[in-house]
Structure 1
Amino acid sequence: MTANTLVRESLLDAAAIVLPVRCAGCRRPDRSLCDDCDAALRPVARLDAIGDIPVWSALSYEGVARRVLLAYKDGGRVDVVRALARALRCAVAEAQRQTARAPGEADAGDAALLPVLIPSTRSAWRRRGYHPSRSVLARAHILVPPLWRALRLSRQTADQAGLTATQRSGNRRGSFVASRRLAGRTCLIVDDIVTSGATIAEAARAIRAVGGRVAGAAAIARTPLRGGGRVQQPHSGPWGDAACFPVSK
């Protein structure tokens, strides 16, 4: 994160505290995020798949989670970033735990996954003034630092919102280029919301094209799928603690 970005986001955080606000989840006055909505954002790890790519998410993109994410991304409500960082950390931690090798296997304790962030379009950056996923990831206190700008856009794409699954796939196809620094690295793609999976699939293609390995993807939220995905409670399993530090509420 650049110094200018850090200063801008610090000023936005301060403004949210000083100025009167309403809960981003239910519009209750005088609270950035009320206790009920904060509880509704309690992360629970869920595993789905996009083709051969496992995808871990922590929230279902509906109800309170949807309203808070929209307020954050399109309403400038950066005061909720801490709660969203808690959710992203949960998804990343579960991805790390499940992709580790079991004790006793050869080469147990592989290096932690390298977070690789989905890039933002120029139009989205101009509209918001910040990269939503990058800001959340920076606050999630992941032990392994991401390789910033490991993915970049080879062409500008349209906003995915409102597009059909087929249109989303065509919109993203061939739009990412990965850094050659990812060659030989085991990567975890990081995004805020997963819908059709077209963005994740394109990111995986670009990473593999330069010799990187894709262990999966982690997201704050996933749109509800018909009969898909199994919910998993995050925990420290027999493979040890996830590679993350705690995030305060």
Structure 2
Amino acid sequence: MRSWWRDLTDLVLPAECGGCGRPRAVLCDRCRTALSGRTPRRVRPAPEPRGLPPVHAAAPYADEVRAALLAHKERGALALARPLGEALAGAVRAGLGAPAARGPVLLVPVPSARRAVRARGHDPARRIAYAAAGELRRTGVPAAVLAALRQRRPVADQSGLGSRQRLANVAGALGVAPGCARLLRRGRVVLVDDLMTTGATLAEAARAIRDAQVPSGPETEPAGKGREASSNSRPVFVYLGETGEGSGQRRTPPPAWSGADRQPGRTSKEAGGKYTGGTPGVVCAAVVAASPDAFGIHRN
């Protein structure tokens, strides 16, 4: 009830700009420009963790952008999901490159810890992913959200941890939910999150997906890990809805590619970037914001 009421009041009666606090605006023009007014950039943390896919970010994590992300994540300003999702969609397009509309794109959000979801009343990255998928579809990119990742074990709060500590904290913490390995092969997988600092969580998410895509019998499972046995092991579907996390979702598998694009035995790279029915892996990752240091020109 609390989440439903907060969602409704935020949509109908926005109290203040999520970036600067200006009254009666979800996000004012100046803050929208800070969030989405620049071309998304390839970002690299230093040091760059092993296994991190190419990451694109819409904006540096500072000032109005930082305030808007925190307002959405920690203060329940849910109306910010749409502008944040639009920024994330831009980062996804940049990561996919051109042409971006040759086949289905699966946005796989990095999951929040269950205790954090309970405390906040929502999963910020998943909510933003829904909005990004809707924006991508409006611009001709067939996109859907596949909430395939689950936490296999609890992790400590990452704030205050260095890059090595974060890598150790999340190592082996994520897995792919039962039944999702096959779905991951039906499109180009893009990992999405609201923020990247050290890249440790995105690298772990990519590791989990790669392990799940190694054939291990009738049902693909993470190599050497076995099936997820936690309470998170519930059926997972591809969500095409833009907002909401428990109601009104269309539960439909992502479209498979067909025709001339479907050429068994060829990799996606050999087919000119087209998915060919094999294991595409993680194409890239996209985030709304990244540490300002990760935007360094000398690292691009």
TM range (shorter): 0.7 to 0.9
TM-score w.r.t. the length of structure 1 is 0.77
Structure 2 residue identity aligned to 1:45: P
Per-residue CA distance 1:79-136 (angstroms, 9 max, x = gap): 2222101101101111222586xxxxxxxx8634322111121111111000101111
Find out whether 1:57 has 2:57 as its counterpart.
Answer: yes
Q: Which runs of 5+ in 1 are unaligned?
A: 101-108, 233-249
Tell whether the 8 Å contact from 1:182 to 1:207 is kept in structure 2 after alignment.
no
Aligned residue identity for 1:161: S
Amino acid at match of 2:145: P
- Find the counterpart in structure 2 of residue 157 from structure 1: 155
**1:55 is aligned with what amino acid?**
V
Query: CA 1:39 to 1:208, structure 2 compared with 1: closer, same or farther past 3 Å?
Result: same
TM-score, normalization by structure 2: 0.65
Q: Summarize the Cα distance change of 1:83–1:157 in structure 2 as closer, same or farther, 3 Å threshold.
A: same
Matches within 5 A, 1:112-151: 112-140=104-132, 141=134, 142=136, 143-148=142-147, 150-151=148-149
Question: Which AA in structure 1 matches 2:290?
Answer: R
Say whether 1:214 aligns with 2:272: no
Structure 1 residue aligned with 2:42: 47
Instruction: Specify the code of the residue in structure 2 equivalent to 1:138.
Output: Y
Instruction: Give the Cα–Cα distance (whole angstroms) in 2 for the partners of residues 121 and 210 of structure 1.
Output: 20
Structure 2 residue runs without a partner (length 5+): 137-141, 214-278
Aligned to 1:28: 22
Q: Identity, % of aligned pairs?
A: 38
The CA deviation at 1:157 is 1.0
SS state at 2:150 partner: strand
- In 1, Cα distance between equivalents of 2:145 and 2:83: 20
**Mapped partners of 2:22, 2:9: distance in 1:** 18
8 Å contact 2:96–2:284 — kept in the other structure?
Answer: no
Q: Deviations over 1:138-168 (max 9, x none)?
A: 12213321222x1111101122122111111
The alignment of Structure 1 onto Structure 2 pairs a total of residues equal to 217
Q: What amino acid sits opposite 2:125 in the alignment?
A: S
**For 1:78 and 1:14, how far apart are their aligned partners in 2?**
9
What is the one-letter code of the residue matched to 1:24? Answer: G
Q: Distance in 2 between matches of 1:122 and 1:88?
A: 23
CA contact (8 A) 1:182 1:210 kept: no
Cα distance change on mapping 1:231 and 1:166 into 2, 3 Å: closer
Distance 1:83 1:205, change over 3 A: same
Q: 1:202 aligns with which of 188, 204, 210?
A: 204
CA shift in 2, pair 1:117/1:75, >3 Å: same
Residue type matched to 1:181 in 2? R
